[in-house]
Amino acid sequence: MSDLLKNIIRFFIFILVQVYVLFKIPHLHRLITPYLYFLFILWLPFSIPRFWQLVIGFLTGLTLDFFTGQLGFHAAACTLIAYVRPFVINILSPKDSSEFNYREPSPRALGWTPYAIYALVLTFLHHGYLVFLQWLSFGNLVSYLIKLVATTGISLLLIFTVELLFPRKLRYRTNA
């Protein structure tokens, strides 16, 4: 299966799971919204040009916004993490490029600790931006900070569950 087709299928699965499973879960607590869809952006192949990563990020967010009714809300956050992603990968990837020949970020490609940091940083940025936007329009800061921490925790839990349940078949980068 080509990367393109694989990612298109992933896109639909992530959006549908987010909208029809995670948003439909009975209200757990006012501070918790389970988010997982942005894992799609975390899993994008390394080889995509940075400009297209931004566009893909923006469209991912916008698609979710069409379902939730607040246009631009998730789109802004997704554009941010799509922009920051290459920098984080640069810092975390092994310096010796001969060791580093995987197609996309995964615990195996980066190693568990760097991958955890990668997921944590981007999750935190994504939720931080969402919470910031909510706070701008309404509400008090402290409850939103707690919300940021709680939501990040839940998201990381979901991400690692997904990583353990669905280990991706690793494909090496080839010259072809």
Q: Show the binding pattern over residues 19-48: x = contacts another protein (CB under 8 A), - = does not.
A: xx--xx-xx--x--x---------------
User: In angstroms, what is the minimal distance from the CB of 10 to another protein?
Assistant: 17
Query: CA 81, CA 53: separation in Å to the nearest integer?
Result: 10
User: In angstroms, what is the minimal distance from the CB of 139 to another protein?
Assistant: 6
Q: Which of 14, 37, 40, 73 binds another protein (CB under 8 A)?
A: 73
70 binds another protein (CB under 8 A): yes
Contact positions with another protein (CB under 8 A) in 130-149: 133-134, 137-139, 143
Query: CA 69, CA 169: separation in Å to the nearest integer?
Result: 36
Contact positions with another protein (CB under 8 A) in 76-105: 76, 79-80, 83
Shorter beta-carbon distance to another protein: residue 98 or 140: 140
112 binds another protein (CB under 8 A): no
5 binds another protein (CB under 8 A): no
162 binds another protein (CB under 8 A): no
Query: CA 8, CA 36: separation in Å to the nearest integer?
Result: 17
- Where on the chain is the footprint of another protein (CB under 8 A)? 16, 19-20, 23-24, 26-27, 30, 33, 50-51, 54-55, 58, 61-62, 66-73, 75-76, 79-80, 83, 133-134, 137-139, 143
